[in-house]
Amino acid sequence: MATNRTFTMIKPDATGAGNTGKIIDRIIGAGFSIRAMKWTQLSRQEAEKFYAIHKERPFFGELVDYMTSGPIVAAILEKDNAVEDFRTLIGATDPKQAAEGTIRRDFAESIAANAVHGSDSDENAHNEGFFFFSERERA
Ligand code: UDP
Ligand code: MG
């Protein structure tokens, strides 16, 4: 079922570099409304669970190390065509391949430390929002 919501995280490189506010401005400026948001930090166990889909990939250990290295901001966003439009706004996984004007092009440090997460499907957007937010927070 298509929905108008997606899920994002501002990752530790971006929170650590003081780019949280600028990235939130970009997101709102692109027409997304924030339905839930929290500043938090992932434990190792939580990061392994969140990224379980990638556990066979060679970068999994490094990804978990990185995602637990500092605070993140998790958020549920709303807009028509949210999942696809947000992936366009953030750009390619590797900031060197990301289009001009995208969040990763402007703020990411590397393919691993790439500033933001964006859900890749409606189903994952739902599951990822569910992972971070209680029922009343997701209302
Ligand atoms: N990643 C990495 N090395 C790679 C590919 C991905 O460290 O070669 C990290 C990066 O932080 C990325 C995350 O793993 O955002 C999830 O990978 P995915 O392929 O789902 O990219 P995304 O959907 O975030 O663009
Ligand atoms: Mg992905």
Domain containing residue 116: CATH number:
3.30.70.141
Query: In which band, very low, low, confident or very high, does the pLDDT at 2 lie, cut at 50, 70 and 90?
Result: low
Q: Is 11 helix (H, G, I), strand (E, B) or coil?
A: coil
Q: Is residue 78 part of a domain?
A: yes
Here the tokens at position 44 are: 């190792």
Residue nearest to atom 6 of ligand 1 (CA): 112
In tens, the pLDDT along 120-133 reads 999 999 999 999 99
Q: Is residue 138 part of a domain?
A: no
Judge whether residue 3 has pLDDT over 80: no
Strand ranges inside the chain, DSSP E:
5-10, 33-40, 72-78, 116-118
Angle at which helices 122-132 and 82-90 pack, to 10 degrees?
A: 80
Residue nearest to atom 19 of ligand 1 (CA): 93
**139 sits in which H/E element:** none
State which residues have CB under 5 angstroms from ligand 2, the bound ion. 120
Domain count, the chain: 1
pTM over 0.95: yes
